């Protein structure tokens, strides 16, 4: 039996989910690092949700402006607000997609019961974080650094796990998994936008103003 297996099984009073192996050359258990990463991810989810909620409120105000100016036959101002509204919706969709992707990562890390399960999530998680950082940097500059810290922490967990040479864990990149997470998040974000935000395509605006 490997060192990892013995250490994983030596505390019978702990639940399976709590038995995350202490890395061979690390003073801090992987379990503790993993829990810290999950907490930081959940904090970011809350921040993204808060900013998205503010954008949704702003969306409603701008939509009402568009309708109001169209009722007054002031198409020029209606188009100005419609153009701004389109940008708001791009940011809203991006933040919603980022939040949903982080929720998937958090859930997968939280439900992992073996080191191999954790490692299977780490590589795509770091790739997703890299993609999210690029998207949110213009809307939430502070989030770029905070997501970078999470990515560094996950990388450290990966390095620590890699020191357990007898565990037989594969560290092959899983680009397809990262793409799947982002693709699913994008599809859900698009569906939620259609359900929650009023459609401006039928308001008689020009091409520029109706672009979303």
- For 74-96, b/e burial (b = at least 16 CB within 10 A) is eeeebbbbbbbbbebbebbbbbb
Among residues 102, 136, 134, the alpha carbon closest in space to that of 121 is found at 102
Residue 190 lies in a domain: yes
pLDDT in tens, 136-165: 888 898 888 899 999 999 888 888 766 543
On whether residue 90 sits in a domain, the answer given is yes
Domain that holds residue 93: 28-199
Instruction: Read off the pLDDT of residues 164-190 as tens digits, 9 standing for 90 and up.
Output: 433 443 444 456 778 888 888 888 888
Q: Is the pTM of this model over 0.85?
A: no
In-domain check, residue 72: yes
Q: Does some domain include residue 160?
A: yes
Residue 44 CB neighbours (<10 A): 23
Whether residue 9 lies inside any domain: the answer is no
Q: Has residue 56 been placed in a domain? A: yes
CATH for 132 = 1.20.1260
Distance CA 203, CA 199 (A): 8
16 is a domain residue: no
- The confidence score (pLDDT) of residue 4 equals 44
74-133: pLDDT as tens digits: 999 999 999 999 999 999 999 999 999 999 999 988 887 666 677 778 888 888 898 898
pLDDT in tens, 38-86: 999 999 999 999 999 999 999 999 999 999 999 999 999 999 999 999 9
Residue 211 is assigned to a structural domain of this protein? no
- Into how many domains does the chain fold? 1
């Amino acid at each position: 039996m490997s060192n990892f297996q013995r250490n994983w099984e030596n505390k019978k009073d702990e639940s399976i989910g709590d038995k995350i192996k202490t890395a061979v050359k690390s003073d801090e258990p992987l379990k503790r690092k993993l829990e810290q990463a999950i907490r930081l991810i959940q904090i970011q989810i809350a921040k993204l949700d808060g900013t998205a909620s503010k954008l949704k409120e702003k969306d409603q105000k701008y939509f009402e402006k568009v309708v109001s100016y169209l009722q007054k036959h002031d198409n020029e101002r209606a188009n100005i607000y419609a153009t701004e509204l389109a940008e708001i919706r791009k940011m809203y969709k991006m933040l919603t997609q980022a939040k949903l992707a982080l929720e998937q990562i958090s859930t997968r890390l939280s439900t992992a019961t073996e080191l191999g399960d954790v490692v299977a999530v780490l590589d795509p998680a770091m790739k997703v974080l890299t993609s999210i950082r690029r998207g949110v940097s213009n809307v939430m500059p502070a989030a770029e650094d905070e997501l970078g810290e999470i990515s560094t922490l996950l990388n450290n967990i990966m390095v620590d796990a890699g020191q357990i040479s007898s565990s037989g864990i594969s560290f092959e990149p899983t680009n397809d998994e990262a793409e799947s997470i982002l693709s699913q998040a994008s599809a859900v974000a698009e569906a939620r936008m259609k359900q929650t935000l009023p459609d401006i395509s039928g308001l008689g605006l020009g091409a520029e103003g109706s672009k979303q």
